[in-house]
Amino acid sequence: MKSPRPARAAPDTGLAQERLLLSEVLKLIGKSLAPDVVLREMLHLLSELLGLNRGRLVLLEGKAEARIAHAYGLTRTEVARGRYASGEGITGMVLATGQSVIVQDIDQEPRFLFRSVRRDQLPPQTVAFLAFPVTIEGRTVGVLACHRIRSRQRALSDDLALLRLLATLAGQVLQLESLVRRETEALQAQNALLRDALAAAASREGIVGSAPALLKSLQDLDRVSGSSATVLLLGESGTGKELFARAVHRASPRRDGPFIKVNCAAIPETLFESELFGHEKGAFTGAASARSGWFERAHGGTLFLDEIGELPLAMQSKLLRALQERTIVRLGGRNEIAVDVRLVAATHRSLSHDVELGRFRQDLYYRLNVVPLRLPALRERRQDIRALALHFLGRANQEHQRNVHLAPQALQWLEEQDWPGNIRELGNLIERAVLLADATHLSADALAVWAESKTSTPPVPGLGSSPQGELRDYRSIDSHSAEQLLEVLRRHHGNQTRAARELGLTPRQFAYRWKRHSPTILDA
């Protein structure tokens, strides 16, 4: 009597396992295209659900050699041994021909190498080896292979059909991953070019750095520069608002026109109207001739009103009218003068808060706040401190004919500071250190000393300083002409304290002479 043949597994059981395997693999592909995750789990499920063991995915490295890139059921040593040349063994044959190979009994196949897994590590019964090509765009890039015990209840044809499908899926995963990687690399390269371009363009304007916060401000600047819209620069003192204002002007269609800067904090309240709108002859005592104001001088270009939060309320309404009507009337005059001016304003104050307190007109605030552009504080772009320090160092060395260097520890110390005065404070410290350093190599300790002494800077030759700080020798009221006062004040961008220091005066002495010479200066 013949012994009964082993019962075959119910067809629906094998089909359910295949569906479960494919469902899990597709879920993984939906979540991630990382081959390490998807392909290893595919090999895991092949073993756990269908008993196709020691699965591996062999991928080409270069043109003629391949190695096991993903595996399940193999030790690290076995994976490391899995290297094949094209045409070498069964795996190499599949790579070379692009055709699948079915080995019914590996012990009877002379081309089977037993390279990765030794024969004594395999089951003693007959073992089959199934290998399928993995292709991308018609090119064989790898091999999906596994061991199979021949005496199985599941039909070989079912296993072959599933493996062929999984090899196709593996190729698609690898192709998608390759496409995503290439696109990502292309985007990264493009972003790097854009960052370099922005940094290069910014450097030409004196804006140094590549921190994300700065690049965001530069991108916003680039978007608005081509229009004629009013720009409001917001940020703490010392963040480089004037440089940004000049960058807006030079990137605009008005680049060939004048760029006029007015520091609202440096103009006495009684002179605002004459400074901005000009005056006619005889408008006030000493007005011996007519004089154009900053609006007229900026015609066809850009007018930069720095510290606009300091503008007196009485002038705010007149400024609003000039912006809305695009006309001005000189002090003492009757005729309207058309002006074509693009306004860039800047402030470190919260204008919205000033509006609530009644210090700033709400309608003017809305008129200025068309395109607000925020400048980041230096503490928000610490990665730029080193580049800025070296930029200021090179400039100070050139201007003062020095050859001072910063030690690596000094640069690190600079990066660790808070810089409440932002870029201006950093630049001033570097210049002070270059001027006053005894050595050519500045250490962190030396910088710390100069930083602590910033409120009582030692005398610098040529700046009119004295050991008594704010005390000065007696000077006659006529010690400086109106032209001298105006020239020095312009050189220091309206900063009376610095102008006074250069002339050897106290700020009070300078202010007194400025007020006394005001009628003459207005006629200049």
pLDDT tens, position by position, 364-415: 999 999 989 999 999 999 999 999 999 999 988 888 888 889 989 999 999 9
pTM flag (> 0.85): no
Q: In what order do the strands lie in the sheet with 139-149?
A: 83-85, 65-71, 53-61, 139-149, 127-136, 101-103
The 10 Å Cβ neighbour count of residue 169 is 18
Residue type, 505: L
Give, for all 524 residues of the chain, the pLDDT tens digit. 444 444 444 455 667 777 777 777 777 766 766 777 788 888 888 888 788 889 999 999 877 789 998 898 899 999 999 999 888 899 899 998 999 999 999 999 999 989 889 998 988 889 999 999 999 888 899 999 999 887 777 788 888 888 898 888 888 888 888 888 888 787 777 776 666 555 555 545 678 888 888 888 888 888 888 888 999 999 999 999 999 999 999 989 999 999 999 998 888 888 888 888 988 887 676 777 888 889 999 999 999 999 999 898 889 999 999 999 999 988 888 889 999 999 999 999 999 999 999 999 999 999 999 989 999 999 999 999 999 999 999 988 888 888 889 989 999 999 999 899 899 999 999 988 888 887 788 888 888 887 775 543 333 333 333 333 333 344 455 677 777 888 788 777 777 877 887 787 777 777 777 777 655 544 44
Residue-wise pLDDT for 320-347, tens only, equals: 999 999 999 888 888 899 999 999 999 9
Tokens of 278: 């000009």
Instruction: Quickly list DSSP for 491-515.
Output: HTTT-HHHHHHHHT--HHHHHHHHH
Residue linked to tokens 């210049």: 431
Closest CA to 412 of 393, 388, 386, 433: 386
DSSP string, 208-234: ----HHHHHHHHHHHHHHTS---EEEE
Q: How far apart are CA 133 and CA 173, in angstroms?
A: 14
- Nearest-angstrom CA–CA distance, 93 and 100: 9
For residue 375, give the nearest of 196, 219, 201 by alpha carbon: 219
**264, 379 Cβ separation under 8 angstroms:** no
Residue type, 320: L
